[in-house]
């Protein structure tokens, strides 16, 4: 099988930092905090009352009113982000639709719809349940509806690996293009978890910050960090066969060069000792890219702001990078938009790609009290101009799923 090179030709993002990739990028570079008091649902009795909500926006750009009601929020966010990415890529879908696929990762799918229908079931009875409960809830529907909306008939499904879901969707889609099963893939992650059940459950598992001050709740690598802040959004990119992109004269934003994936096989919530599993995923991504750790000029970290994650991820970066761990700049997008769970890998990969495009990285905000266990360069001072040839985006999920993606500057 001849292996193809895979490039990025489109980016779409909706997150707490705004609607659209340009707004997101500008706000992240400005170090603007996107965490707000939660208003999407009643949180008055919940221990965590702040979140990374997507600001209210006009969804009609890509979704008509009737369709909107047939989609859970995680699907709406996905279709919006996919639309933006596809507009930028300018693919000829009418011609190539059979060979363009879609993989959008989501951790839990339409949990908001399920919570609503639960109410219907208990207050009005089984016969009042919506015929759209099942299709709106199932986590593959972001990929399904995106394909239906835009006419993408190639390989299609959702990958789930908790907080690495979006990264694995991108990684799997990359492999699909690389092996020649599609000329392009619309891939990334989407999640709409700012719901009562999700917040209650993550709070009970002691993963969420108990700090309800939106200005300081999400503070990766800070000594006083006490958990993540739940967020929502979607980050989706168009991955394309290089030759296909060249033939149609597309603007190439960056290249995707490697994907590594591993399991801790250790514990359902805790990372394995010394971040061994995460290190293996990074090493696998490097090996498949034909790169050494020292070739990586920027790491967009998982950096959730939980005490364990940030410490263990730092250890795993040291394991993989050796001496260069202390010189490679590392930042956490979650410091500004919270943890978007299954969307995180999608959004953060898109941010990594824009970093390569502009040779500029955003900082980690809220890092005023350094943790001695987290002693790398997390870019606390804010945006920085950095020459980037290759950059890595890491995602680590509950259940011990680790995923690492490597992107590179595209040079003719």
Instruction: Give the one residue of 133, 223, 252, 308 binding another protein; rule: CB under 8 A.
Output: 133
Site membership for another protein, residue 97 (CB under 8 A): yes
Binding mask 331-370 for another protein (x = CB under 8 A): ----------------------------------------
DSSP, res 264: -
What is the residue whose two structure tokens read 């980050």? 235
What is the DSSP secondary-structure string of 370-403? B-TT--S---TT--EE---SEEEEEEEETTTEEE
User: Which region, judged by CB under 8 A, interacts with another protein, from 29-37, 147-155, 216-224, 386-394?
Assistant: 147-155
- Does 201 help bind another protein (rule: CB under 8 A)? yes
In the complex, the smallest distance separating the C-beta of residue 297 from another protein, rounded to whole angstroms, is 25
Q: What's the burial of 103, exposed, middle or buried (CB within 10 Å: 0-12/13-18/19+)?
A: buried
Give start and end residues of each alpha helix (H) in 61-140.
65-68, 73-89, 93-96, 111-124, 133-137
275 is an interface residue for another protein by CB under 8 A = no
Asked if 193 is an active-site residue, the reply is no
Question: Site map for another protein, 285-314, x if CB under 8 A?
Answer: ------------------------------
- Active-site residue flag, 123: no
* DSSP string over 332-378: -THHHH-B-GGGHHHHHHHHHHHHHHHTEE----S--SB-TT--S--
Binding flag, residue 158, another protein (CB under 8 A): yes
CB 169 within 8 A of CB 158: yes
- For residues 318 and 292, give the distance between their C-alpha atoms in angstroms, rounded to a whole number: 14
Size of the site for another protein (CB under 8 A): 86
Q: Is 391 an interacting residue with respect to another protein (CB under 8 A)?
A: no
Candidates 27-35, 327-335, 376-384, 396-404: pick the segment binding another protein (CB under 8 A): 396-404
* CB 46, min distance to another protein, A: 5
Q: Which span sits near another protein by CB under 8 A: 8-16, 193-201, 301-309, 369-377?
A: 193-201
**Hey, which residues between 161 and 180 contact another protein (CB under 8 A)?**
161-162, 164-165, 168, 172, 175, 179
Judged on CB neighbours under 10 Å (0-12, 13-18, 19+), 44 is exposed
Where does this chain touch another protein (CB under 8 A) — which range of 110-118, 219-227, 314-322, 377-385?
110-118
Residues 6+ apart with CB under 8 A from 20: 12, 13, 14, 84
């Amino acid at each position: 099988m001849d292996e193809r090179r895979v490039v990025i030709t489109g980016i779409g993002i909706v997150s707490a930092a705004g609607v659209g990739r340009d707004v997101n990028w500008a706000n992240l570079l400005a170090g603007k905090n996107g965490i707000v008091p939660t208003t999407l649902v009643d949180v008055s009795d919940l221990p965590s009352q702040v979140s990374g909500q997507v600001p209210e926006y006009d969804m009609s750009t890509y979704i008509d009113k009737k369709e909107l009601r047939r989609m859970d929020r995680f699907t709406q966010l996905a279709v919006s982000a996919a639309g933006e990415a596809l507009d930028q890529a300018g693919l000829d879908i009418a011609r190539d639709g059979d060979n363009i696929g879609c993989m959008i990762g989501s951790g839990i799918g339409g949990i908001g719809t399920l919570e609503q229908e639960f109410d219907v079931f208990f207050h009005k009875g089984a016969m009042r349940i919506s015929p759209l409960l099942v299709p709106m809830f199932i986590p593959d529907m972001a990929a399904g509806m995106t394909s239906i909306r835009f006419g993408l008939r190639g390989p299609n499904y959702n990958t789930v690996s908790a907080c690495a879901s979006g990264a694995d969707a991108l990684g799997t889609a990359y492999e699909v293009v690389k092996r020649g099963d599609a000329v392009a893939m619309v891939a990334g992650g989407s999640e709409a978890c700012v719901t009562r059940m999700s917040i209650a459950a993550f709070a009970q598992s002691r993963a969420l910050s108990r700090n309800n001050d939106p200005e300081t709740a999400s503070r990766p690598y800070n000594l006083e960090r006490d958990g993540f802040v739940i967020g929502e959004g979607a980050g989706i990119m168009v991955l394309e066969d290089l030759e296909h992109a060249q033939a149609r004269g597309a603007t190439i934003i960056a290249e995707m060069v490697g994907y590594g994936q591993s399991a801790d096989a250790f514990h359902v919530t805790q990372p394995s000792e010394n971040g061994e599993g995460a290190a293996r995923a990074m090493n696998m991504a490097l090996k498949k890219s034909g790169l050494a750790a020292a070739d990586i000029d920027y790491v967009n970290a998982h950096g959730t702001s939980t005490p364990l994650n940030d410490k263990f991820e730092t250890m795993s970066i040291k394991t993989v990078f050796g001496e260069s761990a202390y010189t490679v700049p590392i930042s956490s997008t979650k410091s500004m938009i919270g943890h978007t769970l299954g969307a995180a890998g999608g959004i953060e990969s898109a941010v990594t790609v824009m970093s390569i495009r502009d040779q500029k990285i955003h900082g980690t905000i809220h890092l005023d009290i350094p943790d001695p266990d987290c002693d790398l360069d997390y870019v606390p001072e804010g945006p920085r101009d950095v020459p980037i040839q290759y950059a890595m985006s890491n995602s680590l999920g509950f259940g011990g799923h680790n995923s690492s993606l490597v992107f590179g500057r595209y040079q003719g």
